[in-house]
Chain A
Amino acid sequence: MVRPLGSPTASAIHRPSGSTSESPRLLLGLLLGLVALRGLLWSLLVPPWQGPDEPKHLEYVLLLRLKGRPIGLEDASPPLQRSIIASMEAFEFWWHLRRPAPVPLPADFGQLWPSAPTLLMRQPLYYILSLPVAWLTSDQPLVSQLFLLRLVSVALNVLVIYCLFRALRALFPAEPALALAGAGLVAFLPQPTFIASTYNSDNLATLVGSALFWTAAVVLRHGWRGSTVGALGLLTLTGLLTKRSLYPLLLASWLLLLVLGRWSRARLAAVLAGGGAALVLGAATAVALHRLGAGGRQPLTDWFLRSYLLDLDAASQQLSQLLRPTVFGPVLREQADYWLVQQFKSFWASWGWVAHPLPDPWYGALAGLTAAGLASAILALGWPGRSPLDPVQRRGILMALGLLGANLGAAWLFYTTYSAAAFPQGRYLFPALGPFVLLLLVGIRRWSGPFRPALGAGVIVAGLLFDTACLVGSLLPSFYF
């Protein structure tokens, strides 16, 4: 599948006049600074422990610091859990959840969350990245450590916004306003900001997903190169070490890019070299992990492989359940509505442990806008209207649809064996924020024509107003009034 390089593209022909690339750079710098400040602010506005699973994430990193080696289920420490639970009580955890506080307080996480007491078997990379902060803050009170560790997520979110800007810029090089609008829109999405201001490994997963999308956009625009193969390899390795919900996205990225990416015989050697380098890097990491773990009770590679095999086993069980309609069909039909509604709500805004949603009419309006945007993006593929798409952009849209579908499917698959009360939360879709925002913007572009600065600015200001309304009208009242 070799496609010619260097042919003129529609975007090169249909350049909106007067849009500069210098301004977006300045604006991007301003936006990234604002994202950092905003993350810091939100990390302090969200009460301690109100990030989903935040106590368990903190337990993981504190144990990692304490033990100085890879940790597993057997490392759970009831005294540490009790001190976290006491802090949760002191900071009105149950009041914020609008639930009765247990009397007496649970003795450990097992009593508090019998069905999901721990994350200690999860992939370690997010916690390893947090270790320097954990070391530096070890003499601080527990809540101070939590606030400072939340800043790791804030920093990752700045990188997310940068990756999304670069991805959209690669796909629409002649429309910097579109790239800036996309970055600005995601920067002001309330729920991603909420999650990014809490201590949660989803934030690294979101960064990996966004970086994948950027790399994919570069492959679509410029074809396979050694550097992009290497980058994809590195991201795959990072993703494997970050969160299992990323695996389908990683697989989908490779498959879609193999089909949609541009190949060049001239670069074949470089591509193979990049692939080789990625393999060597993977092997070196495996050896390093093995050596790192050898001093502990359990070599890290053993733990790693076992963990993945267990995951694969669980995933295959869930898949087989899905494929048996007589057993699962009615349940799925019953749950699908509930899952879809809850996932949609918690994608846009639902604070705390999904305990504080927005008023229902807000979601109605958001559903209308989302449906219109996505439908328009699909329409743009066949009938681009006033906004022609070049072949790369068409493939970008197909790629975005594929990645979004893979991410959505993965989130649902992992929940098929859970209880009816549990549902896949919106945050599991955040690794596909890039594809989502691309589709929305292409949908707008279908009707508006190519993005000009005024339209880009309008999209960002609309996002900013929505976000401010969510902050002032919902988040602050939910937690503090």
Chain B
Amino acid sequence: MARLTGLAGLLFLALVLAATWPVEVWTTLQSRPEQPVGEITPDNRVAQSFQARLSGLSAVELHLATYRRVNDVTLLWRLHRDRPDGPLVAAGQIAGRTVQDNAPYRLTFPPQPDSTDRVYYLVLESPDGRPGQALTAWASRHDYFPRGRLYLNGVPAAGDLMLALGYRTPPLAILPTLLDRLAAGRPGLWGQPALYAALLAGYALALGLLVAALLAWSQDGRSAPPSRAEKTDVD
């Protein structure tokens, strides 16, 4: 019994740690590589807006392509908040030689604590890009992603970049957002975030109970004497 209590205590501690320790959460916004956005050059500046869905936005992943060649160019990226020329969140540069063809490329930056539902603009530029020596990024042909827009040279274009967002945040911090979204627009009782909180808590509790019962059962199985016969007629 003491062993079981100890195990239950450890399990609870692990759960608390897991709920409060920041973890990386990834969400895919657009995953269809239907067309490249064209060679990124001074004449072809690419931008993509998107709405972050959680707090702790810390990475953006896009799919770059090289046209099956080595491109000796530099790709500059900037992330702005709220507007295309809004506050700069992060910036960096990518050496064209290091880019793999048709592969994901991850841009990382410090977690943004207030990113929930905020709009961001990712801008891609290549001052030394030129026809025959330039990178590109994969996009969709149609606008699959209503909470964002692709811009070519500042003009809205059809489609969206292939994009995934990474967040670094404790699961517990996500919970209020999740509960609100579960309840959003639902009628009556189903519109109450408390319903989902109660159900999730009840489920977690029931899972804990099952695991404890399974542990007790396996202990019982080890210690029970061999003479305890089995019932075999089961139909």
A interface with B by C-beta (< 8 Å): 11-12, 15, 17-21, 23-24, 26-27, 30-31, 33-34, 37-38, 40-41, 44-45, 48, 90-91, 94-95, 98-101, 140-141, 143-144, 147, 166, 169-170, 173-174, 176-177, 218, 221-222, 452-454, 456-458, 460-461, 464, 468, 472, 476-478, 480-481
Contact = CB atoms under 8 A, between A and B. Distances in A.
B5 interface: no
A455 to B, nearest CB: 8
B232 A12 contact: yes
Given A90-B185, A144-B187, A23 B230 contact: no
23 contacts: A18-B222, A18-B228, A27-B210, A34-B210, A38-B206, A45-B182, A45-B196, A48-B186, A94-B146, A98-B31, A101-B146, A140-B188, A143-B187, A454-B221, A460-B210, A461-B211, A464-B207, A468-B207, A476-B178, A480-B181, A480-B182, A481-B25, A481-B54
Nearest to A94: B146
Contacts of B167: 481
Contacts of A40: 199
Interface string B219-235: 01111111011111111
Contact of B235 (A91, A221, A480): A221
Contact of A100 (B144, B186, B225): B144
Most chain A Cβ neighbours within 10 Å, of B195, B223, B225, B230: B230
Interface in B156-188: 167, 171, 174, 177-178, 181-182, 185-188
Interface in B7-31: 25-27, 30-31
Interface of B: 25-27, 30-32, 53-54, 142-147, 167, 171, 174, 177-178, 181-182, 185-188, 190, 195-196, 199-200, 202-203, 206-207, 209-211, 213-215, 217-218, 220-226, 228-235
A468 B181 CA distance: 20
Nearest to A458: B218
Nearest to B199: A41
Contacts of A461: 211, 214
A31 B206 CA distance: 9
B224 A30 contact: no
B144 A98 contact: yes
Given A41-B199, A453-B220, A33 B181 contact: no
Nearest to A21: B231
A257 to B, nearest CB: 15
A20 B220 contact: yes
A472 B24 CA distance: 12
Contacts of A453: 217-218, 220-222
Contacts of A468: 207
Contacts of A99: 144
Contact of A457 (B199, B215, B232): B215
A40 B202 CA distance: 11
A20 B227 CA distance: 11
B226 A454 contact: no
A480 B210 contact: no
A367 B107 CA distance: 32
Contact of B185 (A30, A91, A222): A91
A38 B195 CA distance: 14
Enumerate the 6 nearest inter-chain pairs by beta-carbon distance, A residue then B residue, closest first: A453-B221, A17-B226, A18-B224, A457-B214, A454-B218, A173-B232
Given A173-B231, A481-B167, 4 more contacts: A12-B232, A18-B221, A143-B186, A222-B235
Contact of A144 (B143, B190, B220, B231): B190
B208 to A, nearest CB: 11
A465 to B, nearest CB: 10
Contacts of B146: 94-95, 100-101
A143 B213 contact: no
Nearest to B144: A98
Contacts of B171: 472
B203 A37 contact: yes
A174 B230 contact: yes
